[in-house]
Structures are given as C-alpha cells and as structure tokens.
A = this chain, B = another copy of it.
Amino acid sequence: MAERVAGPEIERLIQLLARLPGLGPRSARRAALHLIRKREEHEKIMVCSACGNVDTVDPCTICADVRRDPGVLVVVETVADLWALERSGAIRARYHVLGGTLSPLDGVGPKDLNLETLPGRVAAEGLREIILAVNATVDGQTTAHYITDLVGHLGVTVTRLAHGVPVGGELDYLDEGTLSAAIRQRTAF
C-alpha cells in the first residue's frame, strides 16, 4: 500500500486479515470494510462526520491532514473507492463518500446517499474543484449528473475522471465506448 489511508488500527486489521489463507490484499480490504460496517456502532470505529470515511477518529485521518489541498474535493461512491484512489497516490485532496449511487430501479434516491452536506461544503471550505470519481457505470453517471445539478451553480468547477485505455490494456479487448473515448480525449505525445 502506497500510504496509510486510515488510522493504524484499521491498517492493522487489514494486515491481519491479509494473512488468512485465500485472502489477497484486495479481499482483505473488502473484508475489513465489511467487518467495520457490521460493527459500526461498537468500539472505536466511527464514520467521519465531514466526509463519510470510516476511521477510529472523527474527523478522519484524511480530513485532518493539513498537507492536502483544501480546495479540491473528490466525490467517491464507497470507502473502497477512496482507498483505491489513495493507493494510487494520484491526488492529495479530501473526499466526500456518497455511500452508493442513485438507482431508481433499486429505490435508492438522493435521501439515501450522503448528499445533504455536499453543497454546504463548497462555500464552507472554499472549494474550487469537485472531482466526480464515480464508477463509469450507468448508476455512477446518473449520480454524477445529479451532483452537477446540485453544485453546478455554486461557482465550483466540476470535473470527472478521464475515460480511456487502462494501463496495460490491449485495444482488441476494449469495448467500443472506451475506444471512442480514448480517441476523443487523445493527448499530445
């Protein structure tokens, strides 16, 4: 793991789980998240009141990290996605964890997600950019459009992740939508 993404107790839990036979690093992180969600009311695990991350402190280790750019907020669906981005080391910013995506077919509406506090964070934290790091799925994109409507008039730039060829990817195995996006968003070499 490139860097600690949560307090030492959670990291320790992940390390212990990773020693179990059949559990790789990803399974261990998923198992840890599952255990944490199950025991959320107990003991030391708590949900960060600012961003929705799980940690043993509130605000969480990431929200309390003064070395991060306070003007950029990365919106993710789940804590697992937050961890994935932290592992990549791609950005040093703060997060906002939705806890899912809008899904009318499954009866998931705006009230079921951690959306209420998001517009207020724009002014309170002086945000200049919100990065929508939601999955490139239909529900993810529906959610992205909803959030753009929610905060688009507040004077903050809303961006989304680039679509394209994954690193190591071979063109012949990619779907047409990805190839189109990769051509459209091509960059100077």
Contact = CB atoms under 8 A, between A and B. Distances in A.
Contacts of A136: 165-170
Nearest to A160: B189
Interface residues of A, number: 55
A75 to B, nearest CB: 11
A144 to B, nearest CB: 7
The number of times this chain is found in the oligomer is: 2
A170 to B, nearest CB: 5
B131 A186 contact: yes
Interface in A126-162: 131-133, 135-137, 144, 148, 157-162
A43 interface: no
A188 to B, nearest CB: 6
A161 B83 CA distance: 27
Contacts of A162: 162-165, 181-182, 184-187
Given A136-B165, A158-B189, A162-B163, 11 more contacts: A76-B171, A83-B172, A90-B176, A133-B171, A159-B188, A161-B164, A162-B164, A162-B182, A164-B185, A166-B169, A167-B178
